[in-house]
Amino acid sequence: MQTSAQIRIGALAGLVGGLTIWAYELVVWVHYLHLRTVRGLFENSAALAFGPSANAWPVPMALVVSALVHFATAMVWGVLFSVSWPALRKRQIEATLAALCFGILAWVVMHNIVLAIFSPNPPTYTVYSVLNGLVSHTFAFAVPVALIVKRYSK
C-alpha cells in the first residue's frame, strides 16, 4: 500500500480516536467522577500546550484552539500507527495487542516527555490521572485507531 494511503488512513483513524477519547473522558471524568467540567475537558489541550493563561482566552478561541491541538495530535499519532502497521502485520502482530502497547507509548511520550519538556504548564500526577491516562490512551484511543487502520489497510 502506498504511503499516501497509509497517511490518509492514519489521519482518519486519529480523528476517530480523538473523538472516542473525548467521549470516554466525558463519560468517566465529567459524568461519573465529577472531576472535570465539559468546558474544562475541552480547554485542557490548550492549557497543556500554551499554559494556564489559555484558560483566560475568550471562550470560543480557547475551545477552538484546544480542539485543533487535540485533533492534530490525535491525527499525528494515528498516522504513526498507520505507517508502522505494515511492519507489525508482516510480523503477525495482532492489531489490538499492538494498540495496547502503542497507547501506553503515546501516553508516556506525550505526558511524560513532551509536556514535561515543552509545556509551560507541565502535568501533575495523581492516581486518577495516571490510570485515566493509561486507560484512555490505550482502550479509548489506540484500540479504535488500530482497528480502523487494520480494516482499511488491506
Q: How many structural domains compose the chain?
A: 1
Q: Is residue 123 part of a domain?
A: yes
- Residue 70 CB neighbour total at 10 angstroms: 21
- Confidence category of residue 138, pLDDT binned at 50, 70, 90: very high
What is the span of the domain harbouring residue 20? 3-40+68-152
The string of pLDDT tens digits covering residues 19-56 is: 999 999 899 988 988 878 887 777 777 777 777 777 77
| Element spanning 114, H or E | none
Query: Is 132 contained in some domain?
Result: yes
